[in-house]
Amino acid sequence: PEAEIGLIGLGVMGSNLALNIAENASTIAVANRTTEKVDAFHAEAGALKDRIVPCRSLEALVGAIRAPRPIIIMTKAGAAVDEQIAALRPLLQAGDIIIDAGNANFHDTVRRSKELEDSGLTFIGMGVSGGEEGARHGPSIMVGGTAEAYQRVEPMLKAIAARFEGEPCVAHLGADGAGHFVKTIHNGIEYADMQMIAEIYGIMRDGLGMAPAEMADIFARWNEGPLNSYLIDVTAKTLAAKDAETGGALVDQILDSAGQKGTGRWAAIEAQMIGVAATTIESAVAARILSAMKAEREAAEQVFGPIELLDASIDRAGIIDQLEQALLAAKIAAYAQGFAVMAGASADHGWDLPLATIARIWRAGCIIRSQFLDEIAATFEAESGTANLLVTPRFSAMMRDSSVGLRKIVALSATSGIPTPALSAALAYYDTYRQARGTANLIQAQRDFFGAHGFERLDGSGPHHGQWNA
């Protein structure tokens, strides 16, 4: 056998990952359900052709790899992965490693790990982020499985991962589903980041009447400051892009209805299951759902009428500065929520998710990569037991300053009817989290009134019941 590793699934991600492995790690055997794609892929591999072994069946694939064989499955998530595992099992030997690198639901990864536990095979669930470009030139890789399994694939993964200041963006994050869970939360944060940026764009477009090219310049400028990140850069570039047909801004020709494959939704669902408030992520998921209801929104605008631009005499430069602050404050809240979900999952699922390491491997390669994550990594390194990013010295100081802008922007949007679901959720989270005396005493009173649920008293004694009808 010529290859040291195999890969099944030559779609967008699989073909790029295979080229990355061939170039930076080892000779790779590849297979795909539609076999014509294997030949086409090999034919187009250029200088890497000799490092790729095209295989027209799983038998050929297994036969082409030296044992013990690591085999990556990079197909559509769900049933396709179960089918590939079932087809591979009789062909493999004890010691071989199956690596699911797609966007699996982590519950499936936990189940698959259990199913393969006594088979002699090793199973790794691996989250890969960075899209097409990341897969080809260096993704961020989140690994779940046994420590021993990770050790066996670590050199290969380090060779293909993105690097942040020389450090590879790959780590073992815990047993079974830990890697896919962290990828899920990554995607939830990604949804929040994108939604918050879109809301800022909405204020610029519908409140300030700005043209895309003008906005592109502002996002490009913000990319030089504390918001510096891949997504801000992508925003500046997409806003600047021209439409070949009309000559106008391309973004103006795109239907305002966003798709989703469900990983952001899983993040919101898991947060709820664990009992951690991730309201900014939830709002971002809900906003995508509402975005897809184009016809209903058009009908509703007929009922309620359109919103109006802000008064032209408004201090535009001042608002643009506040928008930058608002985005930063909301980003802090969104990341605080995402990391709180991961901390909660550690307790719930028996993982010990290394929060500083997660922030470190997200600094390059993945979609949410940013300078900001370097600061999060440093914060969790300095304060490993921290309850919430919001209250750490570094982020509380940033929040104190930037929340002023967030508050002004949310207030301005609310009074003018511009929707800011994620920004508003971030502000409400911050205000609720920092309020020592909340209002749930009334909720407890109501619950006791109608359901005799009982309540604790402030003096610590309890449970008590009120004499509500006396």
Q: Which residues bind ligand NDP (CB under 6 A)?
A: 9-14, 32-34, 37, 74-77, 80, 83-84, 102-103, 128-129, 131, 261
* 57 Rama sector, left if φ>0, alpha if ψ -120 to 50, beta otherwise: beta
Distance CA 433, CA 387 (A): 12
The least distance separating ligand NDP from the CB of residue 76, rounded to whole angstroms, comes to 4
- Which of 23, 59, 114, 183 does the annotation list as catalytic? 183
Nearest CB to ligand NDP, comparing residues 15 and 386:
15
Nearest CB to ligand NDP, comparing residues 319 and 367:
367
The least distance separating ligand NDP from the CB of residue 469, rounded to whole angstroms, comes to 57
Distance CA 77, CA 184 (A): 13
How far CA 147 is from CA of 7, 29, 93, 178, in Å, comes to: 22, 25, 20, 12
Residue ranges with strand state E in 78-121: 97-100
The least distance separating ligand NDP from the CB of residue 183, rounded to whole angstroms, comes to 8
Nearest CB to ligand NDP, comparing residues 235 and 279:
235
Based on the residue annotation, tell me whether 183 is a catalytic residue of this protein. yes
Residue type, 396: S
- Enumerate the β-bridge partners of residue 143: 126, 172
Which tokens sit at 155?
A: 């050199």
Preceding omega of 68 cis (within 30 degrees of 0): yes
Based on the residue annotation, tell me whether 408 is a catalytic residue of this protein. no
DSSP string for residues in 407-452 = HHHHHHHHHHT---HHHHHHHHHHHHHT-SS-SHHHHHHHHHHHH-
Q: Give the dihedral sign, CA 126/164/263/238.
A: negative
**Helix (H) / strand (E) containing 179:** helix 178-202
Nearest CB to ligand NDP, comparing residues 112 and 210:
112
The least distance separating ligand NDP from the CB of residue 346, rounded to whole angstroms, comes to 23
How far CA 355 is from CA of 248, 361, 373, 437, in Å, comes to: 44, 10, 11, 29
The least distance separating ligand NDP from the CB of residue 152, rounded to whole angstroms, comes to 22
273-293 as b/e: b if 16+ CB within 10 A: ebebbbbbbbbbbbbbeebbe
Q: Which residue is nearest to ligand NDP (CB)?
A: 11
Within 10 angstroms of residue 397's Cβ, the number of other Cβ atoms is 10
The least distance separating ligand NDP from the CB of residue 141, rounded to whole angstroms, comes to 11
Nearest CB to ligand NDP, comparing residues 8 and 97:
8
The least distance separating ligand NDP from the CB of residue 438, rounded to whole angstroms, comes to 39
Nearest CB to ligand NDP, comparing residues 259 and 451:
259
Which tokens sit at 44?
A: 């187009």
- Which of 49, 154, 165, 190 does the annotation list as catalytic? 190
Query: Active-site residues: which are they?
Result: 183, 190
